[in-house]
């Protein structure tokens, strides 16, 4: 009990606390600095726009098949958004079209072009393949030819 009230204990506790605080601060600065650098690097890597847009003006204005008025309004709205260069929003607007009309090749084609413009080539190719299936289902040779050209452009860009 005498030891607990001794001035040496308070001196020891004060000294050890003062010694650990700078070490903790150095450790915290290093850890948070590394974490911050990693986060900034990842954000820059995923937000870096591609150098040249593969399909800046290429979009299919109207579907070849007959679709409902509500779906047509969504399709036309997404095409207008695409033409403004807001490809991510165009993708979001086109998704309800393919959910309601999964055989609309032009919608899948536009989604693929938009994904290519935002740099997501995997999703672009998947969407273009779905467009290819729909074009073949409707026997739309012009759509298939255009799709082949777009895939060649996408392949050339790497």
My answer on whether 99 and 23 are in the same domain is no
Please say if the pLDDT value at position 82 is more than 50: yes
Domain assignment of residue 30, given as a range = 1-48
Is 60 within the bounds of a domain? no
Residue 15, domain member (yes or no): yes
Residues 94 and 131 in one domain: yes
pLDDT at 23: 78
Say if residue 75 is in the same domain as residue 151.
yes
Residue 10 lies in a domain: yes
Q: Give per-residue pLDDT as tens, 120-154.
A: 888 999 999 999 999 999 999 999 999 999 999 98
Asked, for residue 148, whether it belongs to a domain, the answer is yes
The answer to whether residue 42 scores a pLDDT higher than 60 is: yes
Q: Are both 92 and 141 inside the same structural domain?
A: yes
Per-residue DSSP letters for 90-135? Answer: HHHHHHHHHHH-TT-HHHHHHHHHHHHHTT-HHHHHHHHHHHHHHH
Number of domains in the chain: 2
């Amino acid at each position: 009990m005498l030891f607990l009230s001794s001035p040496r204990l308070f001196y020891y506790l004060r000294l050890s606390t003062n010694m650990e605080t700078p070490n903790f601060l150095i450790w915290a600065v290093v850890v948070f600095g590394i974490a911050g650098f990693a986060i900034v690097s990842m954000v820059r890597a995923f937000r870096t726009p591609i150098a040249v847009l593969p399909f800046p003006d290429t979009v299919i204005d109207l579907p070849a098949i007959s679709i409902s008025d509500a779906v047509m309004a969504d399709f036309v709205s997404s095409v207008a958004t695409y033409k403004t260069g807001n490809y991510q929003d165009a993708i979001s607007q086109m998704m309800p079209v393919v959910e309601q009309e999964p055989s609309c090749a032009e919608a899948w084609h536009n989604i693929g072009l938009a994904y290519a413009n935002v740099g997501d080539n995997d999703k672009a190719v998947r969407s273009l393949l779905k467009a290819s299936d729909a074009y073949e289902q409707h026997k739309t040779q012009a759509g298939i030819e255009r799709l082949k050209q777009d895939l060649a452009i996408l392949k050339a860009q790497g």
